[in-house]
C-alpha cells in the first residue's frame, strides 16, 4: 500500500485491489489516512507495579521446599 518515502517527502501510495481506478484511489487514500492517524497516536505510558509481598513469600517458600527435597536425594538419613 504505502510504497516509499522519497527524499523530497513525496509519498507514493497505490492500490490494485479493484479494477476501478476511482475505487483504488479511495482505498489508497483511506489506507494512507489510517497510517497517518496510527503514526500520530501517542501510546499510553506503562504504570510500574510492584509484586505483592505475599506472592514473593510464597515463591521463596516453594523454592526453599524444593531445595530441601533436592538436598535429601543424595544422602542416607538415619531414622530415629
Give the tens place of pLDDT for each residue, 4-14: 555 566 777 88
Residue 52, helix vs strand vs coil:
coil
* Bridge partners, residue 5, by sequence: 11
All three cell numbers of 42, joined, read: 501517542
Query: Is the pLDDT reported for residue 73 higher than 70?
Result: yes
Q: What is the DSSP letter of 7?
A: T
pLDDT at 23 over 60: yes
pLDDT band at 58 (very low <50, low <70, confident <90, very high): very high
pTM of the model: 0.47
Residue-level pLDDT at 77: 63
Q: What cell does 12 get?
A: 507514493
When pLDDT is averaged across residues 69-73 and rounded to a whole number, the result is 86
Amino acid at each position: 500500500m504505502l510504497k516509499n518515502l522519497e527524499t523530497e517527502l513525496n509519498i507514493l501510495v497505490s492500490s490494485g485491489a479493484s479494477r476501478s481506478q476511482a475505487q483504488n484511489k479511495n482505498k489508497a487514500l483511506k489506507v494512507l489516512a489510517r497510517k497517518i492517524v496510527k503514526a500520530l497516536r501517542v501510546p499510553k505510558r506503562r504504570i510500574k507495579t510492584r509484586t505483592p509481598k505475599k506472592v514473593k513469600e510464597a515463591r521463596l517458600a516453594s523454592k526453599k521446599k524444593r531445595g530441601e527435597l533436592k538436598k535429601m536425594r543424595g544422602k542416607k538419613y538415619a531414622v530415629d
